[in-house]
Amino acid sequence: MATPQPFKVEIQQSVIDGILDKVRSYDWHEMPDIEAGADRWAYGTDMVYMKELCAYWAKRFDWRAAEEKLNAFPQFKADVDGQEVHFYHVQGSGKNPQPLLLTHGWPGTVFEFLGVIDQLAHPENHGGNAEDGLTLVIPSLPGYGFSGKPKKPLGPKRTAELWNKLMCETLGYDTYIAQGGDWGSVVTGWLGYNHGVDKQGGCQAIHLNMWGLRPGGVLPETPEEQTWAAEAGAVMAAESAYLQLQATKPQSLSYAMMDSPVGVAAWITEKFNTWSDTEGEDGTKHIENAYTKDQLLSNIMIYLVTRTFNTSTWFYRGFFEEGGSEMAPGTRVEVPTAIANFPREFIKFPPRSMVEKGYNINQWTDFKAGGHFAALETGSTFASNVSTFAKQLKG
């Protein structure tokens, strides 16, 4: 069993300068005319906003400040079954804090969780009880950010195996709670399904903020379920081209993206705009109603400084090579499950009647605001919901 080694983010200045040089020298092209009041993101990333973001990036964005935030909590690297895994490991307050495993997705990174670490680990700093503290483990997916790059695509099922070994063998926890959104929801689903304590694994319970792992052979039956299915099909038809590309020919995409920081930024920023709750109090939509430029660029830069855009997209190919995201027909995740249903989620949850066919739901929360990147978007709202679930499990 490999001993975790302390890690600190320290990117050479020459790498930062090389990225910024390419941003400054980007040769801008055309965008279709958009009528006043129409959606400027309808054809893809709005060029007006991209020029604004890139001007800020080149002149004002401070990677060293982002690096300082990334280094504010203990980080490690460990070899887990031949895969190098980067992860945060933050000891929670209280006498016996429960371990909580948090998994991000694409195009996110561990950066998504930085703003909720202290509230989850040290609730006494936020008006809560120290005895409700959670010990946090927050890994970077294989091929993402500061984790090692796999030699070939691997997917969420294999990642769940790695995460269970990380928690139980590398870190020595008997049981743990797992949480995830985007790919993290699929990884977390597999943890509950294949590595739950009911199957002699270590996963005690799961918390999901996206509909990931699906019950096999389950079709919409009620009018409400059928309406959801029709709406979900329309969304996938309009928005899933990126998924098909990354799941089939990710290497072709990589040649353009690995040479263009602006290309990576546009590809990722469009998803943060489309999948998030960007509506302001006055009813108008703007990406900066959900995120600051510094937040967007910090996440993007992690892909760039580690040169992992290409290997991150391999995860989609690995997903399909593993067989997709369906449980065996007639089976479900039996460990206690919490559903955090945010209204602007890209892949919306079906009605509860359908979700219950695949999960042992102990907590279901419908939120009034928030979207796909729940921890980053909603902060304390997300953290409070996870904490509430963890407290229920303690009894």
Phi, psi of 102 (to 5 degrees): -110, 125
Q: Which of 88, 182, 207, 359 is catalytic?
A: 182
Q: Which residues contact 315 (CB under 8 A, 6 or more apart)?
A: 106, 141, 142, 143, 144, 153, 154, 155, 156, 183
Active site residue 89: no
Q: Is 242 assigned a catalytic role?
A: no
Q: Is 316 a catalytic residue?
A: yes
Residue 346 DSSP class:
S
Residues paired with residue 78 on neighbouring β-strands, in sequence order: 85
CA-CA distance, 61 to 54, in Å (whole number)? Answer: 9
SS3 state at 178 = strand
Q: CA 103 to CA 344: how far, in whole Å?
A: 20
Contact residues for 300 (Cβ-Cβ < 8 A; gap 6+)? 261, 264, 265, 268, 269
Measured in residues, the chain has a length of 395
**Among the listed residues 94, 76, 73, the one whose alpha carbon sits nearest the alpha carbon of residue 166:** 76
Distance from the Cα of residue 208 to its chain's centroid: 11
Dump the DSSP string for 105-154. Answer: -TT--GGGGGGGHHHHH-GGGGTS-GGG-EEEEEEPPTTSTTSPPPSS--
Annotated catalytic residues are: 182, 316, 372
